[in-house]
Amino acid sequence: MEGGAVVTRFAPSPTGPLHLGHAYSAVRAHAFARAGGGAFLLRIEDIDGTRSRAEHVAGILDDLRWLGLEWDGPMVFQSARSGAYAAALDVLRRRRLVYPCFCTRAEITEAVGAPHGPTAAYPGTCRGVDPASRPGEAHAWRIDMAAATASAGPIDWWDERAGSVRAEPGSQGDVVLARKDVATSYHLAVTVDDAAQGVTDVVRGMDLFAATHIHRLLQALLGLPTPRYRHHQLLIGADGERLAKRRGSQSLASLRADGTDGRKLAAGLIEDIPPAGFSIGRD
């Protein structure tokens, strides 16, 4: 993608309070958009209806304002875009590039257990199962990775730090594109939404680098544009671990309550200078 106005986005999930790692991504995306005379968008990734909370949305807005960040245009809520995700999934379904998966979490855990380890790719247990033989049974939709990669052919994407990257989604197996309880997944929703919002540059942490292989494949299959990617290093806590909601990392709300100057914090993060006790990961 060459030329045109820069469009970045910040897309948090309202499943808990934001922490410094989120602030690092947000200020980088905001600064890159403003430096290019472009737009900084805000998208609320609230497809997880069981964990998303209105109070966390309000907290996100308070945090961004505290950091001195202004977004352009209205917020986009993924919970309001189910039709767009269904349409994209239907394209893949009609091309026979996805299949229904009836496996429970326990069955999947057992299937990918030793000797492959807990992070092994789904072994395709339901590939080839006739859905007519299990009428009315809840199921997810998985991409048929072999068929999908064959259809897409060789594809690549560009990353600010890594340069040109050959997409290798096959290593992640037949990932879920629509869950049993939610008619989409992170992979499908983020790909469809980035295209719909005209995002030219995706600024996000290195923890999502591997996911970009899947997103690039979906872009190719759905005929969507490919943005540039700018994966940055992650913030590290005093314990040497990366920040994460599930680990209870210190929230921006607590820093705000303690009297921290949000604009000064943001200015430091832009210069890769986090607060005392935190550091930025290195290769």
CATH number at 95 reads 3.90.800.10
* Residues 150, 176 within the same domain: yes
| Domain count across the chain | 2
Which backbone phi and psi does 174 adopt, to 5 degrees?
-80, 80
In the beta sheet, which residues pair with residue 7?
39
Say whether both 15 and 65 belong to one domain. yes
3-state secondary structure the chain: CCCCCCEEEECCCCCCCCEHHHHHHHHHHHHHHHHCCCEEEEEECCCCCCCCCHHHHHHHHHHHHHHCCCCCCCCEEHHHCHHHHHHHHHHHHHCCCEEEECCCHHHHHHHCCCCCCCCCCCCCCCCCCCHHHCCCCCCEEEECHHHHHHHHCCCEEEECCCEEEECCHHHHCCCEEECCCCCCCHHHHHHHHHHHCCCCEEEEEHHHCCHHHHHHHHHHHHCCCCCEEEEECCEECCCCCECCHHHCCCEHHHHHHCCCCHHHHHHHHHCCCCCCCCEECCC
18 shares a domain with 94: no
Q: Which residue has the higher pLDDT, 110 or 13?
A: 13
Mind listing the pLDDT tens digit for each residue in 145-180? Answer: 999 999 999 999 999 999 999 999 999 999 999 999
pLDDT for 64: 98
Same-domain status, 91 and 171: yes
Range of the domain at 239: 1-80+233-283
- The pLDDT-based confidence of 133 (bands split at 50, 70, 90) is confident
State whether 92 and 166 are in the same domain: yes
Q: Do 118 and 55 sit in the same domain of this protein?
A: no
pLDDT of residue 118: 43
Q: Mark whether 93 and 74 lie in a shared domain.
A: no
Mean pLDDT for 33-41 is 97
Q: Is residue 215 part of a domain?
A: no
Token pair for residue 71? 């977004």
Confidence grade of residue 237 (pLDDT, cut at 50, 70, 90): confident
Residue 87 and residue 48 in one domain: no
Residue at which a domain ends, from 156, 172, 190: 190
Q: Is 63 domain-assigned?
A: yes
Active site residue 245: yes
56 domain-assigned: yes
Q: For residue 254, tell me if it sits in a domain.
A: yes
Quote the percentage of the chain above a pLDDT of 90.
77
State how far the Cα of 175 lies from the Cα of 214, in Å rounded to an integer. Answer: 9
Question: Which among 253, 196, 282, 258 has a CA at the least distance from the CA of 22?
Answer: 253
Residue 271 lies in a domain: yes
Per-residue confidence (pLDDT) for residue 115, from 0 to 100: 44
CATH number at residue 244: 3.40.50.620
Residue 101 forms part of a structural domain: yes
Structure tokens at 170: 């096959």
Residues 51 and 2 in one domain: yes
With respect to residue 53, please indicate whether it lies within any of the assigned structural domains.
yes
- Residues 96 and 178 both lie in one domain: yes
Q: What average pLDDT does this structure show over 4-23?
A: 94
Q: Quick one: which of 253, 246, 257, 255 has its CA closest to 278?
A: 255
pTM over 0.75: yes
Confidence band (pLDDT; 50, 70, 90) for 250?
Answer: confident
Judgement on whether residues 76 and 86 belong to the same structural domain of the protein:
no
**pLDDT attached to residue 283:** 60
Six-digit token pair at 277?
Answer: 């006790």
- Write down the catalytic residue from 245, 250, 256, 268: 245
Q: Range with the lowest mean pLDDT among 9-23, 32-46, 113-127, 141-155?
A: 113-127
Is 182 inside a domain boundary? Answer: yes
In the predicted structure, residue 116 carries a pLDDT above the cut 50:
no
Domain check: are 53 and 43 in the same one? yes
Mean pLDDT score, 100-114: 79
